[in-house]
Chains A and B, each alone.
Chain A
Amino acid sequence: MHSHYHSRWLFFFILYYFPLCSTYWPLFLLFFYILSPIPYCISRRVVDDTDSASNACKELAIFLTTGIVISAFGLPIVFARADVIAWGACALVLTGNIVIFGTILGFFLVFGSNDDFSWQQW
């Protein structure tokens, strides 16, 4: 879990460049970061059949998660094209995105693939 926390700190250092540019609009991305694991977690809790290869609820959750990830990349680009933030700041935010989503994905790959997903693990 330590690498998980260190990458979060790296992200926060990247994101705190924004007070230098005196704009806080990119902090709306935090909404997307918090929202991104939720569909998959809900689908894991609601549907328990790991036997079947197709699972409509899990696929819907993956679809929504992909949408949240795309939105987290699209929002800074739209901000930069509208000159709300500078392109350099946009590049920093996109790098932070990659780190954060890589962390979340790595977390789910390492810790999430259990048959017995229960809250007791926490």
Chain B
Amino acid sequence: MSGFLDGIRCGDCECNVDWGERRNTIASIAAGVLFFTGWWIIIDAAVIYPEEENFHHAYHTCGVIATVAFLMINAVSNGQVRGDSYSEGCMGQTGARVWLFIGFMLAFGSLIASMWILFGGFVVPQKHVVYPGIAIFFQNAFIFFGGLVFKFGRTEDLWQ
């Protein structure tokens, strides 16, 4: 055990971190944090307010549709949409574009619906407990932005 501190060199870190290469990893981590934080917010709200009168259970649909939209948006790669990938896939370039369009429609729709639920279902009726409405809004906002980060934060260039 003698001399075990001899090998420590301060400030000599040879971490040649190439941030260009790490961009995809960082985008994946950020998207994961956002997406799952959104779901844990709604789980928290559902656990604290399990009664129907405080948190109408149909409001969960918004988050589910947002998750479906997330999966749809990220299922097609940018290469398929541009049409410059090797294989055409099931539906071709046009099919990929329609799929992406529907995915974005569902994503924006669920984000807007969450705002509607917050204001129409909780703020305007002046409900005693507003936290579920805020939770729904933040869930959908986080899922939406997680989807955007995962889609556009990653680069598909094979050689950099």
Q: Do A and B bind each other?
A: yes
Chain A positions within 8 Å of B, measured between CB atoms, are: 52-56, 59-60, 62-67, 70-71, 74, 77-78, 81-82
Residue in B20, B43, B150, B159 whose CB lies within 8 Å of A63: B150
A-B CB pair tally, cutoff 8 Å: 68
Residues on A with C-beta less than 8 A from B154 are 54, 59
User: CB < 8 Å: which of B20, B48, B159 contacts A81?
Assistant: B48
Residues of chain A within 8 A (CB-CB) of B31 are 63, 66
B21/A53 in contact, CB under 8 A: yes
B-side interface residues toward A, CB under 8 Å? 20-21, 24-25, 27-29, 31-33, 35-37, 40, 43-44, 47-48, 77, 150, 154-160
Beyond the given A54-B157, A55-B24, A74-B40, please list 7 additional residue pairs across the A-B interface where CB-CB is below 8 A. A53-B24, A53-B155, A56-B77, A66-B31, A67-B32, A74-B44, A81-B44
Q: Using CB atoms, name the residue of chain A closest to B38.
A: A70
Q: How far is the CB of A64 from chain B (nearest CB, A)?
A: 7
On chain B, the residues within 8 Å of A60 by CB distance are: 28
Q: Is the CB of A71 within 8 A of B36?
A: yes
- Tell which of B28, B40, B77, B156 touches A70, judged by Cβ atoms closer than 8 Å: B40
